[in-house]
Amino acid sequence: MSARSLHPGPARSTPTPRRSRRAAALVAVLAAVALVVGVAAWAYDDARRDVLAPGVTIGGVDVGGLRVATARARLQEQVVRPLQRTVEATARGRTATLTAREAGLRLDVDGALDQALAASRRGWIGARVVRGITGARVNERLPVHRTVDRRAVRRFAADLAEAVQRDPRSAKVVPHADRLQVTAARTGRRIDEADVRRRVRAALTHRRAPRRFDVAVATVQPEVTAAALRDRFPAYILIDRGAHQLRLYRDLKLARTYPIAVGRVGLETPAGLYDVQWRETNPKWRVPDSDWAGDLAGKTIPPGPDNPIKARWMAFNGPAGIHGIAPSEYGTIGHDASHGCVRMRIPDVKELYDETDVGTPVYVA
């Protein structure tokens, strides 16, 4: 074996205590820097725990960069206070008012701020710190939820409607013994309560909605007008048994008054509201099947001297009717003299016949 082969190689270098200390020191420095940075980041983030990020709006109000307390004050000034107002609705010169308090208006400002803060604090601490330092925007648009007491708004609209509205009234005819009472028609008024409620809620919850508004009042036509009554009753007959008078109304106005005879005691002309059922010229006498008719009961007597019904006949209640009588019987006019019918002088009954038709109302009082 040669001397070279027995000679050992160069010795390996090993870290010196000085290098180890430098490395340890570097690690310590980096750790310290990291700690300082972390503490600083935490402190920065903690100091901004109630700061809203740029780009946040609530109810259309820019609150970005503000602390929550400051943002709340701004929202109270720009959102809440403008809505603490009184709504005025006017209909037909009558104005009704409703305050925000009476309407139970509630604005959830704190809820909106909680959402805004949550959006501002979104992400991990590093992202929040970078966002805070760089002023990055989050572009969060949040509403302020608003509610009103619907029952209060409904009562407001209903009270206004009660003050303004009225039901339409149809024209009507009420017969009396001595007159025909005609009640004139009247138009009604209506408002759209649903529209009033909608506009009140808008005025209480939206700053730009008008707080004063006029309510449209619609005209409601009656079902029956005076013109319709005149068309329905071109003629109307009133029979006043006590005064022994027959009144004829044309187009609901008194046209003629005639003297008459009515049924005697026990055979009274029946009271009530009837109408002309049928009419005849030179009528036959269909004798009622009654005891007073004697041998003639149930018979039909043709026109002639033995027939007491002269000239015209207008039935209004079965066997009862209006008819003429012979001149020799004119003395019974003004008395209770018939067997239930209404007697008239011949010229009068002819005139009445020409002025009426089947269906004409006949009121007997």
Token pair for residue 144?
């302020």
pTM beyond 0.85: the answer is no
| Whether the predicted pLDDT of 224 surpasses 70 | yes
Instruction: For residue 255, give the nearest of 289, 230, 290 by alpha carbon.
Output: 230
User: For position 48, what pLDDT does the model report?
Assistant: 86
Higher pLDDT, 222 or 299: 222
The mean pLDDT value for 306-319 works out to 90
Cα–Cα dist 25/60, whole Å: 55
Residue 285 is predicted with a pLDDT of: 80
What is the average pLDDT score of the chain? 91
Partners of 89 in the beta sheet?
A: 96, 213
What are the structural domains, with CATH classification, of the chain? 150-227 (no CATH), 233-364 (2.40.440.10)
Average pLDDT for residues 296-304, to the nearest whole number?
Answer: 78
Structure tokens given for 317:
């209640």
- For 118, 122, 134, 223, 327, the CA distances from 130, given in Å and listed in that order, are 17, 12, 6, 76, 124
Percent of the chain with pLDDT over 70: 95
Confidence tier at 253 by pLDDT (50, 70, 90): very high
CA proximity to 358, closest of 256, 278, 285 = 278
H/E segment holding residue 159: helix 150-164
pLDDT over 50 at 5, yes or no? no
* Dist. CA 307–CA 285, nearest whole Å: 6
Question: Greater confidence, 39 or 338?
Answer: 338
Residue-wise pLDDT tens digits, 153-208: 999 999 999 999 999 999 999 999 999 999 999 999 999 999 999 999 999 999 89
